[in-house]
Structure 1
Amino acid sequence: MSETRATTDAASRPEPFHLHLPDEVLADLRQRLERTRYLPPTDVGRPAGLGGPRLKELVDSWLAFDWRAEEARLAGYEQFAATVRGHRIHFVRVRPARSAERVVPLLLLHGWPSAFTEYLPLADALAALAADDLAFDIVVPSLPGFVFSELPEGPLTRAAIAEDLHELMTVVLGFDRYGAFGGDIGGAAAGWLGALHPEAIVGLQLIHPPFPADDSPQDDREAAYLDALAEYDEEDGGYSAMMGTRPDTIAAALADSPAGLLAWIADKWDDWADGGLAAVEPADLFRVATLYWATGTIATSFRQYFDWSFNEPRAAVAAPTALLLSREPWLEGFPRSLAERAVTDLRSVEVAGAGGHFMALEEPERTAEAVRGFFAGLAD
C-alpha cells in the first residue's frame, strides 16, 4: 500500500482559517513592550549581538506597528487548516487569476526565523506573471511547529516535514504532481521530497543547496569551502548551539519577553538578509514577531534544531533541481560538485543577483522571474 493511501484516513478536508488575534493578547504585548528593560550601552570592540539602544529603536517601532491593519490585509488571502498525518497544518492558497495552458501547483516553503508571511510577496509576484502558457496554483504552508501549524508526534525531522507536505499536496489538495521553491528548513524538506517522492515532483528550486550524505571533501576546492563554512558556523552558531541543546531554557525567556523575542529574531535577520535589516521593511519583521508572540510558538520553532540528531542520511535528490543561491556569506564559493553529488538531475546553479536568506521577501519580483523561468523550462 502506498504512503499516500495509507495515510488518507488521517487527512482532513481543508477548512477556512480566519486569522484574528484576541484584543487581550495585543494589549498584553503592548504592555510588556512598554515595560522593557534595556541593556546599558556597551562598546567591547566586536559584535556582541542586538541589544541596548538599537533594540529600543526596534521596540519603539514595533509599538507603532498597526497589527489590525496588517490583519485586514492578510484577510485578503485564502487561508485554510487541515489535519495532516494526525496534526493541524495551516496554509495560504493563491489560485491562478486566469486560465492557462499549464498550471503548476507550487509549494513556497519558509525557514527559520520566519513564517508563512515571508512568501506572500513572492506568491503575489508569481500571480502577476501568470500568462496564457503558464500559471501557478500556489500553496504557502506554515511549517510544523510554526505559528498556526502543530508539531507532529515524534521527532521533527526534515523527512517528517516532507511527508507532511506531500500529504497536504496529494491527499488534502488532490494534486498528482507539484513543484516547490524555498530555502533553509523548507528547502531541506523540499530536498527530501525530491528523494522520497520524485515521481510527484515537477521540479525543485532551492536558495540553499542540498549537501550529499557523504560531504567529506573530494578535492581542494571542496576542502577550502567546507573549512570556510566551519569557520563561519563557529562565529555565527551561538543561536544554533543553544536551540539545539537547551531550547526550552532560552524559549522560557523569549516567551515571557517580547523585546527579547524580537532581539533573538532580528539578530539573525540582520545577519542573513542581503544588506541586513535595512534591506527589509520593518513591518515584515514585526509581522513575524507578532505571530510568534501571539501563538507562543518560538519554542516549537526550535524543535527542528533540537531533533537534528534524528535526521537520517538523505538519498540523492532525484527530481529536477535548480539552485538559485542566496547572497549569504556561508554560500560564497560554494562548489557545484557538492550539489552534483547530492542531486542526480541538477539543471542549473546560479547566484541570485540580490537577496539573502529571505529572498522571497527581499526581492519578490526578481525571484518570481527566476521561478517562472525555471518551471517554464520543465515538462509536466
Structure 2
Amino acid sequence: MALLNSLKHSDLSRRSLLLGSAAAGISAALFPRTSEAADVVAAASGEIRPFKVEVSDAALADLRRRLAETRWPDGETVMDRSQGVQPERLKELVRYWQSSHDWRKAESRLNSFPQFLTNIDGLDIHFIHVRSRHENALPLIMTHGWPGSVFELLNVIGPLTDPMAHGGRAEDAFHLVIPSIPGFGFSGKPPATGWNPQRIAAAWDVLMKRLNYDRYVSQGGDWGAIISDALGRQAPDGLLAIHVNRVERATTFPSDAAQALKNGGPAPDNLSQDEKVVFDEARDFLNNGFGYAAIMSTRPETIGYGIADSPVGLAAWLYDKIADWVYTRGDPEQALGKDAILDNITLYWLTNTGPSSGRIYWENVMSGAALAAVKVPVAVTVFPGEVYKPPRHWLSKAYPKLIYYNRTSKGGHFAAWEEPELFCQEIREGFRSLRS
C-alpha cells in the first residue's frame, strides 16, 4: 500500500507511549508533543503515526506496591460463585501477578506487530495493521469488546494474514486492521459525550479508507459485534459484509418472547423446546448476570473511582465477567491461562482505562439509536459458551441478508482468544462467498 510504504521510508519520528508514575504514584499515558499547532495539523491531515508501547519501570513498580498493600474484603458466605469472584481464586491470581507475570513479555508481543495512531474526529485511534503477503487478500477490520482488548485478537493475526503458514490456502488471506475502541487501551479517551457505537462505526469506515481500503469486511464480538452491526446498518460504500460471533438479543428475539422476558414470565408456549432453552438462558443472564452492565450504563463514573485506584479492584471487576463468559465457566485460567488474563488486566491498569472503557455502556443507552436491519450481507457464528445462542430463523429480521450461520462445538464469548484456530476457520468460511 502506497500510504504505508511511504511511512516506512519517511523521516517521521517514532512516537512512543510513556507510561510514567506521577507524584501520587498513578500511571498516566503521555505523548511527547511538539506543539498544539502540530497536533492540529496532524489531525487535519489524517496523518498516520507509527506507535510503540513503552511502559516505565516506575509504573510497574507502583503496580507491585499497590498489589502488596491490598486490603482484602471478608470472604463470601456461600460455597460457590453466586456472590462474585471467590477470594481464593483472586488471591492466587494476584500472587502470580505480583511475583511472576511479565509485562515486558506482553509489551514485546504487542510491539512485534505494526502499530499506529491516527486522529479521527478529534480523537487518537490506536490500531494494529498487518498486511498479508498475498496481494489479493481481503481487508478486514476486527474489533474487540469489554472486558477485553486487542490482546483478544493477537493469536489470529498470523493464521488470517498468512494462511499458508498455518495449513490454509492463499485465497483465505486477509489484510488485518485491529483498532482499540475509544476509551480502551492506547486509543484516546473521549473528552466529551457522543462516542457511541454508531459514531465508532463511522470512524472505522474513515480508518479503512484512510488506509486506502475501498472494499473491506468487518468482524466483531461483544462491543465489536455491536459496532459491526452499526457499520452494517450504515452500509458505507465499500463495506462488503460483516461477521459477528455475538448476536444482539434486542434485535433478534421474537416479539412475544421479548414481551414475556420483559414481564418476567415463562417462555411462550409456541416456542420449541430448544427455543425455550435459549429463552431461559437469556432470562437467567438478565436476572443474575447483567448487573455489571446496569452499573456502567447508569453510573460508570461511580464504579470508576475504585477500579482506577485499586489494581485488585480492577482485576476483580474484569475477572468476574471473563470467568462468567468463557466456555470453561468459572475457570478462565483453563481457557486462557493466567498470563493472557493478566496481560489484558495490566493493559487496563497501565492505561487507566477501567473507567473510560465502561462509558461505552452509558453512551449506548444515551444514543437511543433505532436498531434497524443490517443492510449488508452478514455471517454469524454461534459458539456454545456464548451468553445468547439464537437459532438461525430468529435472525431473519435483523439480518435479512444472512449468508452464513454455523454453531460450533466449543468456544465461548471470547472466541478468538479461547479458540483461535476454530475462530479463523469460521472467519474464512463466513466470508468465502465474497471472494468468488
Q: TM-score, normalised by structure 1?
A: 0.91
CA RMSD, Structure 1 to Structure 2 (Å)? 2.2
Q: Which residue in 1 is equivalent to 2:360?
A: 304
Corresponding position: 1:274 with 2:334:
no
CA-to-aligned-CA distance 1:69-122 (integer Å, 9 cap, x gap): 2212221110000001111000001111x234x211101110000111111111
1:343 is aligned, of 387, 395, 399, to 399
Q: Which residue in 1 is equivalent to 2:143?
A: 109
**Which letter maps to 2:101?**
F
- 8 Å contact kept, 1:14–1:80: yes
Corresponding position: 1:55 with 2:90:
yes
Q: Which residue in 2 is equivalent to 1:5?
A: none
Q: CA deviation at 1:51?
A: 4.0
Distance in 1 separating the partners of 2:64 and 2:412: 31
Q: CA deviation at 1:212?
A: 6.3
**Which letter maps to 2:97?**
W
Change (3 A) 1:367 1:197: same
**Which letter maps to 1:113?**
P
- 8 Å contact kept, 1:202–1:379: no
Q: CA deviation at 1:177?
A: 1.3
SS of aligned partner of 1:16: strand
**Which letter maps to 1:186?**
G
SS of aligned partner of 1:18: strand
Q: Which residue in 2 is equivalent to 1:251?
A: 304
1:21 is aligned, of 33, 55, 58, to 55
Q: Which residue in 2 is equivalent to 1:331?
A: 388
CA-to-aligned-CA distance 1:182-239 (integer Å, 9 cap, x gap): 1111111101111102542222111012456585525733984446413321100121
Q: Which residue in 1 is equivalent to 2:13?
A: none
Corresponding position: 1:192 with 2:226:
no
SS of aligned partner of 1:365: helix
- 8 Å contact kept, 1:39–1:51: no
Change (3 A) 1:11 1:341: farther
- 8 Å contact kept, 2:232–2:376: yes
Distance in 2 separating the partners of 1:44 and 1:379: 54
Matches within 5 A, 1:101-140: 102-130=136-164, 131-140=169-178
Q: CA deviation at 1:353?
A: 2.4
Question: Which protein, 1 or 2, shows the higher relative CO under an 8 Å CA cutoff with sep ≥ 6?
Answer: 1
**Which letter maps to 2:289?**
D
Change (3 A) 1:325 1:198: farther
Q: CA deviation at 1:344?
A: 1.9
**Which letter maps to 2:219?**
F
Corresponding position: 1:262 with 2:324:
no
SS of aligned partner of 1:38: coil
Corresponding position: 1:35 with 2:69:
yes
1:160 is aligned, of 177, 196, 199, to 199
- 8 Å contact kept, 2:143–2:178: yes
Distance in 2 separating the partners of 1:274 and 1:200: 35
2:111 is aligned, of 75, 91, 95, to 75
SS of aligned partner of 1:42: coil
CA-to-aligned-CA distance 1:246-284 (integer Å, 9 cap, x gap): 211111011111011111111111100111312112111
SS of aligned partner of 2:153: helix
- 8 Å contact kept, 1:126–1:136: yes
1:356 is aligned, of 412, 415, 429, to 412
Corresponding position: 1:373 with 2:421:
no
Distance in 2 separating the partners of 1:139 and 1:345: 24
- 8 Å contact kept, 2:300–2:355: yes
- 8 Å contact kept, 1:247–1:306: yes
Q: Which residue in 2 is equivalent to 1:149?
A: 187
Which deviates more, 284-293 or 366-375?
366-375
Change (3 A) 1:72 1:379: closer
**Which letter maps to 1:269?**
I
Structure with greater Cα Rg: 2
Distance in 2 separating the partners of 1:133 and 1:148: 32
Distance in 1 separating the partners of 2:189 and 2:371: 22
1:85 is aligned, of 103, 121, 136, to 121
Change (3 A) 1:343 1:329: closer
- 8 Å contact kept, 1:204–1:319: yes
Corresponding position: 1:99 with 2:134:
yes
> Which segments of 5 or more consecutive residues in structure 1 lack a partner in the other structure?
1-7
The alignment-based identity, stated in percent, is 34
Which deviates more, 74-83 or 240-249?
240-249
Change (3 A) 1:115 1:331: same
Distance in 1 separating the partners of 2:279 and 2:44: 42
Q: CA deviation at 1:377?
A: 2.0
> Which segments of 5 or more consecutive residues in structure 2 lack a partner in the other structure?
1-41, 258-269
1:177 is aligned, of 201, 215, 220, to 215
- 8 Å contact kept, 1:159–1:311: no
Q: Which residue in 2 is equivalent to 1:235?
A: 288
SS of aligned partner of 1:315: coil
Q: Which residue in 1 is equivalent to 2:271?
A: 221
Q: CA deviation at 1:11?
A: 5.9
Distance in 2 separating the partners of 1:138 and 1:17: 17
Across the two proteins, how many residue pairs are aligned to each other? 369
**Which letter maps to 1:323?**
V
Q: TM-score, normalised by structure 2?
A: 0.80
- 8 Å contact kept, 1:212–1:338: no
SS of aligned partner of 1:378: helix
Corresponding position: 1:316 with 2:350:
no
Change (3 A) 1:41 1:210: closer
